[in-house]
Amino acid sequence: MFAVALFCIACAAYWAWRQKNRKVTEPPFFPGGWPIVGHAPALIGDSCKLWDAVNDLARQSYDIGGVVSAAIGPRTVYIVTDPDDSFTIANSCLEKDGFYDFAKPWLGEGLVTGKYSIWKNHRKLLNPAFSQILLDTFMGVFNSQSRKLVKDMEKEIGKGLFDHWTYTRHNALETICLTALGVDFTDSNLNSKYVEAAELIFNTIVERFTKFWWHSPYTFAWSNVKKKQDACLEILHNMSNTASWVHVLQKRKSEFNGNICAARSIIPGSKFKPFMDLLLDLSVEKGVFNDREIREHVDTMIVGGHDTSANVLMFTMILLGSHPEAQEKAFAEVREVLGDGDRDVEKADLSKLVYLEAVLKESMRVFTIVPVLARKLDKDVKLKNYTLSAGRTCFLFVFGLHKHPMWGPDVNEFKPERWIEPGKLPDNPNAFAAFSVGRRQCIGKAYALMSMKTTLAHVVRHYKIKADHTKVRLKLDVMLKPDAGHCISIERR
Ligand code: HEM
C-alpha cells in the first residue's frame, strides 16, 4: 500500500515538474488534464466514445489556435487542426509515430507502418506500380467489378433497408486483388473471413490505444486484447497458409522464377508493371525484397486498397440517399456523359464526370475515413505560432481540417457544389487532406478516385438510393466507420 502511495506521489510530482518546465514556445495544454493520467480518461471507452472525444478535442482546438498539447498518461502529445501547420509537420517529419507499431504484427514494415529508413527506398521502388499509364489498364476490371456490385445488390431491390457496406467491402477486396495482385479472390467464404479478421484486428489496435497502460509491449503482452489480436493474426496467417497471399505468392513466384516474361506485360515494352509483378520482379531479379517484406507489402496494399474505397463508397451512398437533389444531379451527369444505354465508363469519361468527383470529395470531407494521422517528431518543428519539441507524438486531425470554420457556416452540410462553384472552397490549399499530404501521402489516390468514380457511375445509373445520414452512429476504429444507422434502401431506376 505504502509503495503504491509513494509511486502515485512520485508520478504527481513528475507531472507538476513537467508542467512547470514546459518551454514557453510549446502550444498550451488542453484544459481538464489530470495528474498522472492526463487526458487519457477522456479516451477510455468504446470506439464510439473515442470518436466523440476526438471531436470534442478538435472543436476546442479551433478556439485555442489549431495546435494544442495533451497528455496521454505520462506522454505529452500535440494535436493539430491548423491546415498550414499540418502541412509543415507532414512534410518535415516523415517518421510514423510509435502508435503505428500496434499494427506491426500484421503489416510489419509495409508502406503505411514502415520505418522512414525502409519506407524511403521502398516507396521509390513501388511508385511505378501506380503510374497513370498502368492505372488506365485497370478500367476493364473497374467496370466489370462495378457491374458485379450492381448485380449483387439487385436482390435488395424493394426490400427496405440493408447493409450495403458488406457489398462494397467484398467488392473492393476483389477489385484490389484482381488489379494490383493479379489474383482472383472471389471465394466468398475466404473473402468474408478476411474482411472479418481485418475488422477485428482494427478493434484490438484501437482498444490498446484507448488504454494507455497497454501501450508498452511488456504490459500489453499480458492483456486480454493481445490474446484477441493473436487470434485475429492466427486467422490471417492461417489463410496465408491455405489459399491466400503466401500461397498465391509462392504460386506466382514459381511461375515467375527463371521466366521474367511471366510478369504480366500489360503494357508491351513498358517498364511499368502491376504491383505484385513489380514486387516479384524486384525480389527475383534484383534481390530487393525477401518473402516477409513481400507479404507485408501485399497485406498493406490489400487493407489500404479495399477498406478505404469501400468505406468511402458506403458513406457516399448514404449521403446521396439523404440528398435526393444531389443524387439526381449525379444521375443527370452520368446520363449526359455515358448516354442512355449501359456502356462501360471509359478513361476519357472520367474527367467529364465533374459532379461525381465533387460528390466523392465532399463525401470524404464530411466523413473523413482516415480521420487522424500520427507522426513522430524527429526534430523540433517551428510552426506559425509555436515550436513543437523533438521526440513527441503529433496527431494530425485531418477530420478537424475538414470541419474547420474556414469552410464556412455550412461546414457540416453535404454540398458537392462547393467543389465546382468558384469561390466556394477555402483559400487554403491544405484545407483538404483526405489522402494525407506531402511525400508520405496515399500511393493509391489516383487508383481510388478512378475506381470509385467508375463504381458510383454504375450504381447511380441503376439505382435510386434512399438513406438517412442523420441516423448514422460513428466510431473510430483506426478508420472512421459506422456503428449503426448506416443502412440504405434501393429501387431500380
Ligand atoms: C478513398 C480511398 C483512400 C483514402 C481516403 C486513402 C487515404 C490514405 C491516407 C490518409 C494515407 C496516409 C496514412 C498515414 O499516414 O497513416 C494513405 C496511405 C496509403 N494508402 Fe491510401 N487511401 C485510399 C485508397 C488507397 C488505395 C486504393 C490504395 C492501394 C491501391 C492505398 C494504399 C495506400 C498505401 C500503400 C499507403 C501508405 C503510403 C506511404 O506511406 O507511402 N490507398 N492512404
- Considering only residues 13 and 436, tell me which one the structure prediction assigns the higher pLDDT: 436
At 3, the pLDDT band (50, 70, 90 cuts) reads low
* CA separation for the pair 245, 252 (Å, rounded): 10
Highest mean pLDDT, choosing among 34-38, 211-215, 260-264: 211-215
Give 481's strand partners: 475
Our answer on whether the CB atom of 181 is closer than 6 Å to any ligand 1 atom is: no
pLDDT in tens, 391-416: 999 999 999 999 999 999 999 999 99
Q: Can you give the pLDDT at residue 247?
A: 60
Percent of residues in the chain assigned helix, strand, coil, to nearest 5: 60, 10, 30
For residue 433, give the ligand 1 atom closest to its CA.
Answer: 10
If you measure from the C-alpha of residue 161 to the centroid of ligand 1, how many angstroms do you get, rounded to a whole number?
30
What is the SS3 assignment for 219? helix
Confidence of residue 13 (pLDDT cuts 50, 70, 90): low
Q: Is 274 in the pocket of ligand 1 (CB under 6 A)?
A: no
Does the CB atom of residue 309 touch ligand 1 within 6 A? yes
Q: Is the per-residue pLDDT at 328 higher than 90?
A: yes
Name the grid cell of 395: 496527431
435 close to ligand 1 (CB < 6 Angstrom): yes
pLDDT for 177 beyond 70: yes
pLDDT in tens, 98-126: 999 999 999 999 999 999 999 999 999 99
Question: HEC string of 286-340?
Answer: CCCCCHHHHHHHHHHHHHHHHHHHHHHHHHHHHHHHHCHHHHHHHHHHHHHHHCC
- Do 100 and 374 touch, CB atoms closer than 8 A? yes
Report which protein residue has its CA nearest ligand 1's atom 29.
305
Mean pLDDT of 33-51: 82
Q: Burial level of 128, CB count in 10 A (0-12/13-18/19+)?
A: middle
Cβ atoms of residues 394 and 375 within 8 Å: yes
Say what the pLDDT of residue 250 is: 67
CB of 448 within 6 A of ligand 1: the answer is yes
Q: Three cell numbers at 165?
A: 457496406
Q: What does the mean pLDDT of the chain come to?
A: 88
Q: Is the pLDDT of residue 51 over 50?
A: yes
Is any atom of ligand 1 closer than 6 Å to the C-beta of 114? no
pLDDT per position as a tens digit, 340-354: 999 999 999 999 999
Ligand 1 site, residue 434, Cβ cutoff 6 A: yes
**438-447: per-residue pLDDT in tens?**
999 999 999 9
Q: Is the CB of 305 under 6 A from ligand 1?
A: yes
Q: How far is the CA of 127 from the centre of ligand 1 (A)?
A: 13
pLDDT above 60 (res 183)? yes
Which pLDDT band, with edges at 50, 70 and 90, does 483 fall under? very high
CA dist 482 and 255 (Å) reads 42
Ligand 1 atom at minimal distance to the Cα of residue 312? 1
Query: Which residues sit in the known binding site for heme?
Result: 442
Predicted pLDDT of residue 313:
98
Per-residue pLDDT, 234: 81
Q: How far apart are CA 71 and CA 85, in angstroms?
A: 20
Whether the pLDDT of residue 15 is over 80: the answer is no
Extract the annotated binding site.
Answer: 442
pLDDT for 262 equals 46
Question: What ligand 1 atom has the least distance to the C-alpha of 451?
Answer: 27
Instruction: Output the CA–CA distances (angstroms, integers) from residue 384 to 62, 67, 89, 168, 404, in the order listed.
Output: 14, 10, 11, 41, 17
Per-residue pLDDT, averaged over 320-336, amounts to: 98
Asked whether 477 and 54 are in contact (CB, 8 A), the reply is: no
How many residues make up the chain in this entry? 493
Min mean pLDDT across 241-245, 300-304, 379-383, 410-414 is at 241-245
Q: Ligand 1 centre from 482 Cα, in Å?
A: 20
pLDDT per residue as tens digits for the range 273-305: 888 888 888 887 788 888 888 888 988 998 899
Average pLDDT over residues 33-54: 84
pLDDT at 399: 97
Q: In this predicted structure, what is the pLDDT of residue 25?
A: 85
- Give me 63's grid cell: 478556439
Ligand 1 centroid–CA 306 distance in Å is 10
Q: Is the CB of 308 under 6 A from ligand 1?
A: yes
Pairwise CA distance, residues 28 & 67, whole Å:
8
